[in-house]
Amino acid sequence: MEARSLYERFENNLNTLLEILTHDIDLSRTPFETSLPLEINILCAVLNTTGEHFEIKSTGIQSVAEFKDLYVHNKEHASKAMEQILNDKRSYMKTPEGTMLTKEMLIRRLEYFNEAARVLNVMITQKSLGSPLQYNYSSSK
């Protein structure tokens, strides 16, 4: 998906994630309990490269709600930061993995939130349809 469309869908994806996370959905067998907070922290670091101050104090899934509140209250600043990053093709940032293009870091985060919203939407749809669980702990010996 193109970066512009990911950027335009970001708030909808964030709303979808938060709405689904408030439902009684079992995330224990998914990577989302760990990966969502990590991706939010990375997104904050990327946005902070433009001089903004996005900081999440919560841990775990609660960080999604905290980031959503922060994003809504600072939407103009966040949008301006994302626009600036997407338009800058030469900006770099240091990460534990090495030096990365800031634009690529932002695009990867936007892709992640788009995919996470899609997967969780599928999970909640399957649950609402009464689909059986797809895993089995008992051994059939």
3-state secondary structure string across the chain:
CCHHHHHHHHHHHHHHHHHHHCCCCCCCCCCHHHHHHHHHHHHHHHHHCCCCCCCCCCCCCHHHHHHHHHHHHCHHHHHHHHHHHHHCCCCEEEECCEEEEHHHHHHHHHHHHHHHHHHHHHHHHHHHCCCCCCCCCCCCC
Position 134 scores a pLDDT of 58
Crossing angle (nearest 10°) for helices 32-48 and 62-73: 30
Position 92 scores a pLDDT of 80
Position 63 scores a pLDDT of 93
Position 135 scores a pLDDT of 56
Give the tokens for residue 126: 């399957």
Domain coordinates of the chain in residue numbers?
Answer: 3-128
Give the tokens for residue 105: 């870091």
Position 141 scores a pLDDT of 45
Position 80 scores a pLDDT of 92
pTM here is 0.85
Position 49 scores a pLDDT of 92
Ordered mean pLDDT values, 10 residues apiece, the chain (141 residues)? 85 93 83 93 93 90 92 92 89 80 92 95 87 58 45
What are the φ and ψ backbone dihedral angles of 85, each rounded to 5 degrees? -65, -45
